[in-house]
Amino acid sequence: MNDLPKLIAIVGPTSSGKSALAVKLARCFDGEVISADSRQIYKGLDIGTGKITESEMHGIPHYLLSFVSLPRQYSVALYKKAADGAIRKILDKNKLPILVGGTGLYIDAVTRGIYFPDVPPDSKLRKKLEKRNAKMLLAILEKLDSARASKIDPQNRRRIIRAIEIAKVLPRTPKKSVQPNYDTLFLGIRRSPVELRKRIKNSVHDRIQRGLIQETKKLLKSGLSKKRLAEIGLDYRFAIEALGGRLSRQELIEKLETASRQYAKRQHTWFKRYKDIHWFKNEKEAKQLVLQFL
């Protein structure tokens, strides 16, 4: 019998409905939710990251949303420490912790006993790499860590530079597997390509309608640089172009939909390698899996 604390982890591509399902399961099984999203950790990045709203939470406590101030960088090692702390708080209340998100590294760090060294920034290396474009940086990363290069956003220079920085250290300090801290049930939301495409389209239109452009303008007025904001997320990168008059509203929509579909594909590639994820089709099936697990 496994005596480890029980944890539910909900994974899947962007716009698949992970957050809504987490709330439903939390209400059904007396749980609380921990976000595993590398963009939603930041304060002020709400619409452009698809962050769940307070009304959508339906009173369910959520952890690790909007707790990091920009432009601070945040590592996987720091996230794991914060997530473990949130899970302990939930368990201390005799409630069920539910981890939800699409950032594979965050999910793996918490659930799979993988040790991620907190590699310090290398300012000298960064200065050198900053002179390269995304294509050149990706080629460097492919030589150092082809697996990571195949899953990373090929246009996100900040993430590619950070991955190179880590890859140059990891050969000397390899990832170490340690015993997992939790008995985890992995739930994966399965959507057909047609359904996911439709959900992504609706999500993009919703974010623009809710004020993506206005949020981007506000963030830039607060002093955040265009470069830093563009590095953080796809939505902001294209919203900045729209603000500069380089994209029409329709072109913005098309670019966001295409980029979101590409991101969803990378997420699917990340998660499909794990055979212990239970891919389900509907809420009823997910609830049945949780009942059997508990």
- Which CATH number goes with the domain that contains 254? 1.10.287
Lowest mean pLDDT among 145-149, 180-184, 264-268: 145-149
CA 28 to chain centre: 25
Residue 156 lies in a domain: yes
Residue 225 lies in a domain: yes
Residue 81 lies in a domain: no
Residue 97 lies in a domain: no
User: With 60 as the cut, is the pLDDT of residue 256 above it?
Assistant: yes
Measured CA to CA in angstroms, residue 141 lies from 135, 153, 176, 194, 255 at distances of 10, 12, 21, 33, 25
Predicted pLDDT of residue 67: 94
Q: Same structural domain for residues 205 and 257?
A: yes
Binding-site annotation: residue ranges: 12-19
Predicted pLDDT of residue 115: 66
- CA dist 243 and 292 (Å) reads 50
Of 174, 173, 150, give the one whose Cα is nearest residue 160: 150
Does residue 183 contact residue 87 with C-beta atoms inside 8 Å? no
Q: Give the pLDDT mean for 72-88.
A: 90
Percentage of the chain modeled with pLDDT above 90? 55
User: With 60 as the cut, is the pLDDT of residue 174 above it?
Assistant: no
117 pLDDT band (50/70/90 cuts)? low
Lowest mean pLDDT among 176-185, 186-195, 246-255: 176-185
Residue 258 lies in a domain: yes
Q: Give the pLDDT mean for 76-80.
A: 88
For the chain, the average pLDDT equals 89
Q: Same structural domain for residues 200 and 259?
A: yes
204 pLDDT band (50/70/90 cuts)? very high
User: With 60 as the cut, is the pLDDT of residue 21 above it?
Assistant: yes
- CA dist 31 and 10 (Å) reads 13
Q: Same structural domain for residues 165 and 200?
A: no
> How many structural domains are present in the chain?
2
Residue 68 lies in a domain: no
Residue 3 makes CB contacts below 8 A (sequence gap 6+) with none
Residue with tokens 């509203």: 249
Q: Same structural domain for residues 131 and 163?
A: yes
Residue 149 lies in a domain: yes
Predicted pLDDT of residue 176: 55
Predicted pLDDT of residue 173: 44
Binding-site annotation: residue ranges for substrate: 14-19
Of 162, 64, 63, 180, give the one whose Cα is nearest residue 115: 180
Answer with the one of 144, 174, 204 that is the final residue of a domain: 174
Binding-site annotation: residue ranges for ATP: 12-19
User: With 90 as the cut, is the pLDDT of residue 28 above it?
Assistant: yes
- CA dist 167 and 76 (Å) reads 14
Q: Give the pLDDT mean for 253-267.
A: 91
Does residue 174 contact residue 154 with C-beta atoms inside 8 Å? no
Residue 40 lies in a domain: no
Give the range of the structural domain holding residue 166, as residue numbers without chain letter. Answer: 118-174
Q: Same structural domain for residues 148 and 207?
A: no
Q: Same structural domain for residues 123 and 167?
A: yes
Helix, strand and coil in the chain, % to nearest 5:
55, 10, 35
